[in-house]
Amino acid sequence: MRALYFDRFGGPEVLRVTELPDPESVEGTAVVAVRAASVNPSDVKNVAGVMEGTQLPRVPGRDFAGIVIDGPPQWHGAEVWGTGGDVGFSLDGSHAEYIRVPVTALARKPEALSFEEASAVGVNFVVGWLGAVEFADLGPGETVVVIGVSGGVGGAVAQIARTRGARVLGVDRVPPADGTPAAQIIDAFIPFVPESASVAEAVMEHTAGRGAEVVYDAVGGVTTAAALASLAQQGRLVVISAVGSPTVKINLPDFYHREIRMLGADSRKLDLTESAQRLTLLTPYFESGKFRPLRVAHHFGLDDGHKAYTAVADQVAGRVVIAP
Residue 301, domain CATH: 3.90.180.10
Phi, psi of 73 (to 5 degrees): -55, -35
Q: What pLDDT, on a 0 to 100 scale, did the predictor assign at position 245?
A: 83
13 and 113 both lie in a single domain: yes
Q: Name the least confident of 146-150, 193-197, 204-208, 277-281.
A: 193-197
Q: Which of 224, 261, 270 is CA-nearest to residue 130?
A: 270
Q: By residue range, what is the domain housing residue 228? A: 123-267
d(C-alpha 87, C-alpha 163), whole Å? 29
Q: What pLDDT, on a 0 to 100 scale, did the predictor assign at position 196?
A: 79
| β-sheet bridge partners, residue 6 | 58
pTM of the entire predicted model: 0.95
Number of domains within the chain: 2
pLDDT band at 41 (very low <50, low <70, confident <90, very high): very high
117 and 128 both lie in a single domain: no
- What's the CA angle centered on 156, arms 283 and 148, to 5 degrees? 170
Q: What pLDDT, on a 0 to 100 scale, did the predictor assign at position 244?
A: 87
Q: Is the pLDDT of residue 35 over 80?
A: yes
Round the average pLDDT of the chain to a whole number and report it: 96
In-domain check, residue 288? no
